Amino acid sequence: MSPKRLKMVTRSGALDRWNIDMPRITDEQARGDAGERWFVGQLPKGWFFQRPSTDLGVDGIVVVTEPGILNGLEFRVQIKTSKKFPKRGSKVAISGLNLESVRYWFANPTPLLLVAFEDSVNTAYFGWHDDAISDPKGQLSSGRSTLSAYIDVHDVLSLDGWNSIRKRLEEHYAAILQAFYASDVAGFLVPTLHELATEVKYLFFAHSAKHWGMEERTADEVAQGERTLTLLDFRTHCDVIRTLQSLNSKLKRFPREQTSIANFTDGYRDAVSSFIEGFKELPENPSPDQEIRVDAERMRLLRPMLIDGLLQVIQTLSQPAKATNATHKGFDSVGID
């Protein structure tokens, strides 16, 4: 563009209008993006950061590609950035966490790393969500819109920090291998995977179903179709809870994994209760005429998160099969070659 033309455009106010119409990023968003870039730059070689394609309540997923039990496995990441986080004794306090995001953290079995990045000193603290948030069941049902998490001030992202993260992940997945491939659980695993996969299929159907030829239907027929989908959705959520509780009952010898499944089940139930009125009190097998009150918009918002959580459960239950050739202490004790 010639100088003369640029001057004319400026005089016309077109550039001013163009600037006004452009999307603006807030200081908080810019700071958050900078924190995410810093975190990605600190990842060990062979660890890759992926942003979720849809809003799933986390900043990203880290996929590990390195020799050993962790190869191909993943964990979720939530990064909070501030000039400085307040300290409470030996803890770093992260306040203002959105309750719905935290609800999703617990409605998913994949480990979540919570990172507090102080951009004034380029230092980040880390902790795992199930350690950082005490009494999650009580806090998620408190009615508050936000809550706080606390991570150890000594857990800093550094070479030692990444080694600690790697060790925790190895322990997590090795424990799953031991629990789900124990002789009294392994036979139950395939039916559980089948049930969960079927339930995911029904939830996906309910989420994506379209009323073809709706213009040819009466309002009553359309309403009946919506009631049928709502009933399918409700019954499927009940089936999910039942499947998870049955799985949980098989893990009495593995309290850590039993607690993990129980926390996931509670988080799942609480999420469904937030859009199906009285979900916990409704009969598990309601009649077709049973009135089920739902918050349709909230249901559409949360259902993809619940589907993702169940897919993560399926992945978690089936993933150890590919780790059976790994060398790790304790594998021989469960009869894995």
In the prediction, which pLDDT does 39 show? 95
Mean pLDDT of the chain: 80
CA distances from 124 to 81, 84, 162 (A): 9, 10, 12
Structure tokens at 183: 């002789």
Q: How many other C-beta atoms are found inside a 10 Å radius of the C-beta of residue 238?
A: 19
- Beta-carbon contacts of residue 66 (< 8 Å; ≥ 6 apart): 44, 45, 46, 47
Structure tokens at 165: 């993260």
pLDDT above 70 as % of the chain: 80
Structure tokens at 91: 């803890």
Q: Worst-scoring range by mean pLDDT, 40-44, 93-97, 332-336?
A: 332-336
CA distances from 31 to 26, 38, 285 (A): 9, 11, 49
Structure tokens at 298: 């909230």
246 versus 253: the higher-pLDDT residue is 246
303 close to 203: Cβ distance less than 8 angstroms: yes
SS3 of residue 157 by DSSP: coil
pLDDT, average across residues 40-54: 88
Tens of pLDDT, residues 108-162:
888 999 999 999 999 999 999 989 998 887 887 777 888 999 999 999 999 999 9
Angular region, 12: left φ>0, alpha ψ -120 to 50, beta rest: alpha
41 versus 145: the higher-pLDDT residue is 41
Tens of pLDDT, residues 295-312:
988 888 888 889 988 998
Q: Does residue 228 surpass a pLDDT of 60?
A: yes
Burial of 335 (0-12, 13-18, 19+ CB in 10 A): exposed
Nearest in space to 60 (alpha carbons), one of 96, 106, 110, 94: 110
SS3 of residue 114 by DSSP: strand
Q: Give DSSP secondary structure letters for 43-96.
A: SPTTEEEE--SS--SSSEEEEE-SSSTTTT-EEEEEEEEES---EETTEEEEEE
What phi and psi, each to the nearest 5 degrees, are found at residue 194? -65, -45
What phi and psi, each to the nearest 5 degrees, are found at residue 65? -125, 95
User: Rounded to whole angstroms, how far apart are CA atoms 103 and 253?
Assistant: 27
In the prediction, which pLDDT does 10 show? 45
Which range is most confident: 191-200, 245-254, 260-269, 284-293?
191-200
pLDDT, average across residues 257-266: 85
112 close to 58: Cβ distance less than 8 angstroms: yes
User: Rounded to whole angstroms, how far apart are CA atoms 159 and 165?
Assistant: 10
Query: Across the strands, what pairs with 114?
Result: 78, 127
130 close to 172: Cβ distance less than 8 angstroms: no
275 close to 298: Cβ distance less than 8 angstroms: yes
In the prediction, which pLDDT does 172 show? 86
User: Alpha-carbon dihedral of residues 265, 269, 272, 276, nearest 10 degrees?
Assistant: 160
